[in-house]
Chains A and B, each alone.
Chain A
């Protein structure tokens, strides 16, 4: 009986070996499981993770720019002692048009990350926004970067919104032109 159990044990081992040697399951195991030990991205490995247990670091590692962007905005506003800031968040199309690829969080996610309220240019409270995120072109010293600027008055706000809208409309127009008729 023990001999038969050993035969079944060997068969079980063989099945697992064959299973994970198939292209599909082998690939799944390598990309989803084995990468916890050996990955090109260091922050995905156990070795890295067990030595980086600080919650803040874990958020930065996983959520990356979306989180750090929100945190930097909040830190800047705190430094500027901004009262009741409401940040005009740019549409994704505007960032992409300017050559960026950072994912801009929606207002609720932005608030979740950093505790600062945000609004889109389509939001009902857009006219109460008093700060805005824009892309600053390179100036010879610093490369192109995101910047937060205060909004002093309605014309300034309208001008920023017009730039945002222009980017959205351009992307839409391009998509329509490229879509099959």
Chain B
């Protein structure tokens, strides 16, 4: 392993992600800012070899280094200007971990150590990778181009070479600069995302309750396996969730920059898996009703709805409409892959039924599929349903905007995945849909942090643990407290709706 190369790439991830946060004027707590920067930076750096290829610049060791450096520099121009003006202060890290959080965190560290080691140690082995992105990346390193000898083969057994360049390009960077199997970028995404999830829970729930929820979350067997098996779905889940999260932040704080940043996150999710665009289309009704409620003028509303779809579509189009069409030495037409019989809705209902019965509730006549829901996702879905039902019965008045939007997101995935199966016949139940369901889970977690019953439990624990502090009546913050309230500058005022 090349540690200097790894350090360079890590810094590259952080700087590109942090620079983008600064461009959109996103203010987060230092730890969250670091985690989001790293997550975003992984996806952003993957654009470097792709851009080199678009301009037919050879993908060599030095060109990748220069590309990453230039990319980071460009994304950090606003930060450099602020640095010059002396308007940047060093963040103060405050971890404040309680004694009773240590057991859950110790288990988390143990589990993730195993994951990170396997991610580093094992060569890529998922068939979808070996027959596409990984093979292209391996020969790109040898031949300095993504349009390499892989395309001189008969590729009738696979369509994986048409998958977006996210994995291919990260593999190129990591094989060139870090280690022969690449892949460790997945650990960065997984660890940063899981830690971010835990901080989100802790912000609104008592750390003890947050720890129990987190335990159910990171021990979901199938998603855990994909923290070290390289595929698209884990990253797709992370960015889809981040899109929703910042959309919720926008709806609560009404700062336009948060809306734009959420669009960037959704765009990254589309860049990783193009069919995410369909799910994003299903978010439009939510936005429409929100804008109407906020009395946003018609033209402005239309522009925002257009931005919401056009930016992710750009990432879809640059790959499918430009690269696959004009660069790849093979013919591929997306329309050939789409269901032509739109009148027949039975595939949609069949898939919805199959997904609900088999994947969510584990009901199947096939003994091999019986209780498969537990083998895939553990008891996390049942925990969510239990909490939701209790909230619906006893805490109906406690539903927050965040909770409602998170539930809408769960519904988008629940309806959207069968719709994808209806639209694109190769989207099957036991692979694409099974892993597509991952996108629900962080949204379920986000809902649970706002849950009435868990809030009550948290308040009870806080009062019991710290009666002197919680005894005094303090006004509840009106908005989520995960983002740092920016000083009232002209820029921030401008960002307001």
Could you tell me which A residues sit within 8 Å of B by CB distance?
Answer: 1, 4-6, 8-9, 11-13, 15-16, 19, 24-25, 28, 32-33, 36, 46, 49, 55, 58-59, 62-63, 105-109, 111-112, 117-120, 122-125
CB <8 Å contact, A109 and B131:
yes
Interface residue? B379 (CB, 8 A): yes
- Given A6, A15, A58, which contacts B121 in the complex, CB threshold below 8 Å? A58
Give 12 new A-B contacts, CB below 8 A, not counting A55-B181, A108-B158: A8-B208, A12-B211, A15-B212, A28-B221, A32-B224, A108-B131, A108-B153, A112-B139, A112-B150, A117-B152, A120-B157, A124-B156
Cα-based distance from A16 to B224 in the complex (angstroms): 18
Interface residue? B87 (CB, 8 A): no
CB <8 Å contact, A123 and B154:
yes
Query: Main SS of the interface on chain B?
Result: helix
- List B contacts of A123 (CB < 8 A): 154, 156
CB <8 Å contact, A33 and B125:
no
- Given B123, B131, B154, B215, which contacts A62 in the complex, CB threshold below 8 Å? B123
Q: Which of B125, B154, B219 has the most CB of A within 10 A?
A: B154
Query: Main SS of the interface on chain A?
Result: helix
CB <8 Å contact, A24 and B374:
yes
- List B contacts of A106 (CB < 8 A): 131, 157-158
CB <8 Å contact, B379 and A24:
yes
- List B contacts of A24 (CB < 8 A): 374, 378-379
Cα-based distance from A122 to B156 in the complex (angstroms): 9
Cα-based distance from A107 to B224 in the complex (angstroms): 30
- Given A32, A46, A117, which contacts B221 in the complex, CB threshold below 8 Å? A32
Cα-based distance from A93 to B100 in the complex (angstroms): 56
Cα-based distance from A49 to B157 in the complex (angstroms): 33
- List B contacts of A36 (CB < 8 A): 114, 117-118
Cα-based distance from A11 to B118 in the complex (angstroms): 32
9 A-B pairs with CB atoms under 8 Å apart are A5-B99, A11-B208, A12-B101, A25-B219, A32-B225, A36-B114, A106-B131, A111-B135, A112-B150
Minimum-distance CB pairs A-B, first 7 = A8-B100, A112-B135, A9-B100, A106-B157, A123-B154, A12-B103, A12-B100
Contact with A along B148-175 (1 / 0, CB 8 A): 0110111111100100000000000000
- List B contacts of A8 (CB < 8 A): 98-100, 208, 461, 465
Contact with A along B117-145 (1 / 0, CB 8 A): 11001110101001110110011000000
Interface residue? B392 (CB, 8 A): no
Interface residue? B102 (CB, 8 A): yes
Cα-based distance from A62 to B465 in the complex (angstroms): 50
- State how many angstroms separate the Cβ of A116 from the closest Cβ of chain B: 11
Interface residue? B349 (CB, 8 A): no
CB <8 Å contact, A5 and B103:
no
CB <8 Å contact, B122 and A62:
yes
Cα-based distance from A58 to B179 in the complex (angstroms): 13
Cα-based distance from A45 to B371 in the complex (angstroms): 29
CB <8 Å contact, A46 and B100:
no
Residues of chain B from 345 to 385 with CB closer than 8 A to chain A in the complex: 374, 378-379
Interface residue? B78 (CB, 8 A): no
Kindly report which residue of chain B lies nearest to residue A49, judged by CB atoms. Answer: B121
CB <8 Å contact, B153 and A117:
yes
Interface residue? B30 (CB, 8 A): no
Interface residue? B77 (CB, 8 A): no
Kindly report which residue of chain B lies nearest to residue A28, judged by CB atoms. Answer: B221
Cα-based distance from A13 to B103 in the complex (angstroms): 6
Kindly report which residue of chain A lies nearest to residue B206, judged by CB atoms. Answer: A8
Interface residue? B110 (CB, 8 A): yes
- List A contacts of B132 (CB < 8 A): 108
Kindly report which residue of chain B lies nearest to residue A105, judged by CB atoms. Answer: B130
- List A contacts of B103 (CB < 8 A): 9, 12-13, 15-16
CB <8 Å contact, B138 and A112:
yes
Interface residue? B81 (CB, 8 A): no
Q: Which of B130, B139, B180, B374 has the most CB of A within 10 A?
A: B130
Interface residue? B326 (CB, 8 A): no
CB <8 Å contact, A16 and B123:
no
- List B contacts of A107 (CB < 8 A): 153-154, 157
CB <8 Å contact, B464 and A4:
yes
Kindly report which residue of chain B lies nearest to residue A4, judged by CB atoms. Answer: B465
A5-B100, A8-B99, A9-B100 given as contacts; is B114 within 8 A of A33 (CB)?
Answer: yes
Residues of chain B from 412 to 448 with CB closer than 8 A to chain A in the complex: none
Interface residue? B194 (CB, 8 A): no
- State how many angstroms separate the Cβ of B271 from the closest Cβ of chain A: 23
- Given B110, B130, B374, which contacts A112 in the complex, CB threshold below 8 Å? B130
Cα-based distance from A119 to B157 in the complex (angstroms): 10
CB <8 Å contact, A16 and B104:
yes
- List A contacts of B149 (CB < 8 A): 111
- List B contacts of A125 (CB < 8 A): 154
